[in-house]
Structure formats: C-alpha cells, structure tokens
Chain A
Amino acid sequence: MVYLTIGNPPKTIAFNYPDFMAEQIENSIFSAIISHESAESYIRYNIDHSGNKLYLQRNGRLTHQNKSSQKIIYALEWQVLKDALNSYKKDYKFHAAGLSHKNNGCLFVGDSSAGKTSISMVLMELGWELLSDEFGILNPGSLKLYPFPRNFIIKPHHPVDAVLKSRFVNVAYNTGTRKIKIAYIPPTVFGKVASQPVKLKSVYFLKYSELSTYRITPLGQTEAFANLIKQLYNPHLFKRNSLDHLLNLLNNISFFQLLLPNPFNLEPAQQESLSKQLISG
C-alpha cells in the first residue's frame, strides 16, 4: 500500500495493488510524492488480479479492467490527476511550471514547448525546488503556490539528455495521429521537490527564443493579465467576486517576459546568472 497527499486542504489517496505491480506503481508519474507511511485516506484505489485480468476500483467502484498492467497504471494516473485537480477547486490552475527558491515561489507560464519542463530541470540542478512542471496551482487569496510534482513527461523531441531519457520508463503514447514513446523522469533525479505551499513572488511568461542567451523584460499589468487568462485551465473561476483576487495578484506580484533559448544549451555561467536574476525578480 502507498499513499499520496494532495489538495487544499490536504487529503490522502491510498493505492492497494498486487505485489507484482509494486515497481510500476513506484515508477508511476507520482513516484516523487508517494509515501509508504500510512495515513487516513479519502480516496482508495484498489487493483485486483483475477484470472488474466486486472481490475481497477476507485472507492469500491470498478472503473477499468484490462489485461495490460501498463494500461491499468495509465488509467490510474489519469484518475488520480483528475482527483488532484478537483482537490484544488477554489484555486487557479495555470498551464505553468512552479518552482521555489528559499520559499520564494515563481511561476513559469507558457504554451507547450515554451520550455517549462526544461527550465524546471535546469533550475532544480541549481538548487530550486519543484512544485510542478505543468499545473501551477495558485490560491488567489493567499497567493500561495501548491506543490503537485508529478514526474516529468518527456516527449521524443525534448532536449534532455538521451541517455537520461533511456534510463526511465518509456511508455507508448498515442498523440491522435501517431504513437510516440514518452519517458517518465522522476523530478528527484534533478533535485528536490517542494512538499509545502510557498508564497508566489514572480511570474515569468516563457517564450521560446532562437537567440543564444535569455532576456528578461518587465511586463505591465494589462499585458500580464491578458497572458495569464490565456493559460488558465479553469477560467470559470472568473466571477464578479474573484476579480478582486486577480487585482490582488496583479498588485502584489511582479510579472516578466522571459525569452528563453533551450536552457540546456546555456553555458553554466549563463544558467547561474539566469537563476540569480529570477530569484531577484
């Protein structure tokens, strides 16, 4: 049995599975945050093995059955992801990476392929802690960022070291038009993951750059607001009474545009300098 604690307020999800699936569970996308320490759980997943099939149940209700353990793990990961996102109902969920340095949180907001995962890996190697590389979960009242550090999901074109990629679980993934192999890399390979919420200090809007160095430029509130709402997963939170929360966010946080080439190609001194500037932002 393993446990995963997420949400605001925190709640625990428990997984029970046959012994032969232990390695797959431990290498699932939540590997960095699962724990063997027993805790009272509000959702309980159970995987049963009967005949040649596996049965996935959520709180006693059958949700999936399949012969392939990989497909059952995949279904479990999606369900847990949904549980996790539902457990932050009143919080904004941005398409963003969240990282912290000495309890100062930064969001790196951007489209797919803008560099969220890459900058997360590079900054973790420089001592930053990962909150999330995909879902930046922000409470608009307290301006706290919540950790949700699932594994990095690395597509074939991603610039991370190929040898590193090959060391981790490679899963077939259907993009809709073709099948690709994606690698799940635990964030702990690069550094620490955050376990507690941190106060947001700065927001960086990532934009891929062909240049050989990065550039950071301050953004005005109007542009920052327009960019933020484009990357919000749950825009239905925009209600009359939440506008004040947004203004609180705009008035208390610094916003920047970060033009970023592939951060793995930056010289170590440039990476250090980038890290320092991001901290001071």
Chain B
Amino acid sequence: MKRRSKATLATPSRRRMLKQTAALIAAPYVLRSAHAQGNADVAPYTAAKINWRQAEGEEITVAFIPASYFDNLIAIAPTFEALSGVKVRFEKVPPGQIRQKAMLDLSSKTATYATSATDPMYYPLYVANKWVEPLDRYLNDAALTDPAWFNYNDILKAWRDADSFEGKPYGIPYDGEVTVQVYRKDLYDAKGLKPAETLDEFLKNAAALTDAGNRMYGMALRGFAGAGQNMYIYPSLFKEFGGNWFNGKKVVVNSPEGVRALDWYVDAESKYAPPAVRNWNWPDIADAFSQGTLGCYIDAHSSAAVLMNPEKSKVIGKIAFARWPKGPTGKRVTSIWNWGLPINAALTDKQKRATWLFITWAASAETQARTSWKFAGAAKRSGLNRTSLWKSPEFLAMTSNIGPNFVEAALGSLEQDTDVDWRPRVPQWPAIGDTMGTAIQSALVGQKNSREALDEAQARIDQILKG
C-alpha cells in the first residue's frame, strides 16, 4: 500500500528543496514575499465566469500525502483562501494509510475530510457505497464551473477515464504518472544496444548488461507485494500478453495469458535483476539505479527525481527514457495512476460547493503551472494533469535537464499506451489487489509456480466476489 511519494523533478539538492518547501509552508513571511512576486495575482482565476465567493466562510479539511507535489499546492493555498474566502485545513496522511483513513471516514459518514488524495482504483468501491458525489452535476452547473475556463477536456484523457466510473466522473485528477523505461544511455551505447521495442528485446538488453559477479544487473521491476507495488507493474504485462480481467462480470486472473505474463515477470526478475528486487519498491530500485548497478528499469516517470539528486546519484546525465516495450500482442500498456480529488457525499451542500471550488482551483491550468515551473521553491512538479501543459515550451524547458526523450516518452505513453481496464475496476479491488500482490510475490520468490499462485488467487477472488 505504500506508494511512491516523492515525484518531483530533478533539482540540484533534494534536501535543499525539502527545506525550501518547508520554509514556504512554515513562514508566512516568505509567502508574503511570494505574493510580491505576483503569485498572489488572482486575475487568472477571476477570469472564470463564476462566483468564487459563493461558499465564503466555509472551512474544509483536505487529506493529502506528504509529497512535494502536494506541498507545492499547500504552499500557494493562501491564494485560494483569498480568492474564495474558504478556509482550507490540510492534513498529511502517509501513503500507506490514506486509503484506510479516508475509508474509515467515508464509511462512518463523519465528513472529516471534504476531499482526499484518492487512488483511482477506489472509485468503484466509493460509488457502490455512494460515499462520493458524481461530479457531472458540478461540471455542468454554470454557477459552479465555467467550462471555457476550466476546460475539463484538457485534462489527460487517460486520467479522466481512470477517475470516472460507468461514464460519470467522480474525481478530478490533480497529479499523476506513467510508467516508462528508464535506462543507462552510456551503457546501452557502449554495447550498441537500443531501448527495447518489445519484451523480448528487453530481456536481450538485460542479458547483455547483467554481470552479477560485478554487481551489475540488466533490469529491475518492483516486486514488493501490494496492490500499489507489484500489482502496479504486473497489470501492464498482463495486458500486453493479451490478458483480460473480465469474463462477463467475473474477474479472471488465472487465464493462460495471465500465467504467461507472470512467467515472464518471474523469469526476468530471477535472471537479470538483483536478488533483493522481489522485496523492492520503487525507491529501492531508484537507489540501485542511482548507484550505477542497474541497466534499466520500468517505473513511474517521476522516479527520475531520485536519480537527479547530486548528493547520491552517480548517473546524472547518463539517463534516457523510452515507452514500455511491446508485448506479444504488439500492445504497450502503461500506468494510468493519478491522485484525484473527489467530494465526500456526507458534506453539507455549502461545504460541497466550497470543496468543488477548491478542486477546480487545484486542477486548473493556472494552479498546475504555479505548482510546476512557476513555483518559487526548488521542487517543481512533473505530474501535471493537462495535455496543453505537457506540450508547453515552459514544461519542456524545465524537464530538459533530466535526459533526452523525457517528455516524448512520457507523453507518448500517456496519449497512446493507456488502457482504462489496466486493472480490474470493481468495488472489491482492495481485496483483489492485495490478493494479487501476495500471489505475484509468492511466484516471484519461488514459493509457488505462476499457475499455482494464480489458481490460488483465483479461488480466493471467487470467494471474495461470492454473494
């Protein structure tokens, strides 16, 4: 359940950036000086033809995870408070607990959190329980949303779809990520290798680079058990091997495609990855890569932040990016993960309006830019939610130091390699995701073979779904 959290880019010193972010949060003085720089300028917001002050005097609590992409938003939140007269209290809940806490709150209808950073896989569950508001009403209400200004369709389609269920949006994406190949350009060049176009090539590249005696491994994919760990990588493989999570309404995980995909995963990890990878999450992989012991990995584009920390990294300037290799079906399938913001259905009407205003403010193009390249601190967000921003010259300039193809690989993946049924979207996802994470890991560590692991998972999932 512990997910990635430090998805910011590439700046001289992570420590310094943390400090500066902290300084921004902590010191009103600094904020005031930020105002002086023009960041408090509300004109780009007042251009929207809505009444920002319609929920004036409300107070809402928002749960985020402690991550710099949210810290940036918190740092400029006084602008929203000034604009709307709504007071926002932020609560930072660690990624491992935010789902649990949000769910305990939603299920008990205490309305503690007006909105919280939400895992897209949880919408089916929330919707089944009617815990969150359908947002089409809000989007279509001229008093609440100026369609021309907010331009919902500018938000990356893959993420919009991920945060919708049965055709209705339930969350608005704020920040997200795609999985891409991150590889050592210098090592690839030295051996005359090219970034893999197919999974087979991916293994060939890995084989060419692996030299376990010298602590050099060709590849790594997260293996740690969990819905947000190995079950974040495996779905892409499953889909690329032609897997389909559903047979009618039944969730099927032990299809021949599933077994083949898991066999590939097990085989790749056991031959070309560091032995400990089966217990690794993304930071461990990024650490190993930054120490120069990995040739390539596939993970979130934002993990590049760790690689750019000069205090630790030995690979700065040697990194390049590429889209997922194609599977046997010729498909590439990337992650559609994002943190979206829903509205808690247990709020009063006025609170709901206040929350909606906050969400549209946070997801607006202007705020997205202000938390990215316009941000005064050192940590600039790279998980922006809008196509127009990904294509802007400012974003390109900001990310140019990370490595060649960064935007190209990430945006290409986002636009062409997504599949809304990347993971099975059913209310029982928490149990299914956990079951699958455990099953995958038991196959990776050789406790069971792929077939047994998936058959057992299937039996359990059948139990779970049985009504």
Q: Do A and B bind each other?
A: no
